[in-house]
Amino acid sequence: MTPELLEKMTDEELQDLHARAVELLKTRDAERKKKAVAEARAMKEKAQAGARALLESVGLSLKAVAPKKRRAASAKHGGAVESVSAQNSARKTT
């Protein structure tokens, strides 16, 4: 499409062209995002498979080396459950 052709178009034709261009851009962007997500998942799977193979070669598993999830310690105080950080700040003020 040449600039001369654009100059000859009516406002309505230009608006239609713009709407179609935006539509195409959105479609292409969605396709790129979908492809990127698929590639990221494939890379993650490959990395996990490599990690599993490496760990198995030394007799370990992913669960054996994965960090343990910590839960916030809580204690009952006056019938209500308070977090340790809340108890500590209460102690500092007294």
pTM of the model: 0.53
Comparison of pLDDT for 41 and 63, the residue scoring more: 41
β-partners of residue 83 are 74
Element (H, E) at 49: helix 11-57
The residue written with tokens 């959105």 in the block is: 26
Q: What pLDDT, on a 0 to 100 scale, did the predictor assign at position 72? A: 66
Give 63-72 pLDDT, tens digit per residue.
888 887 777 6
Give 7-32 pLDDT, tens digit per residue.
999 999 999 999 999 999 999 999 99
Contact, 63 vs 56, CB < 8 A? no
> 31 is written with which tokens?
């396709």
The residue written with tokens 């698929």 in the block is: 38
CB atoms within 10 A of CB 62: 11
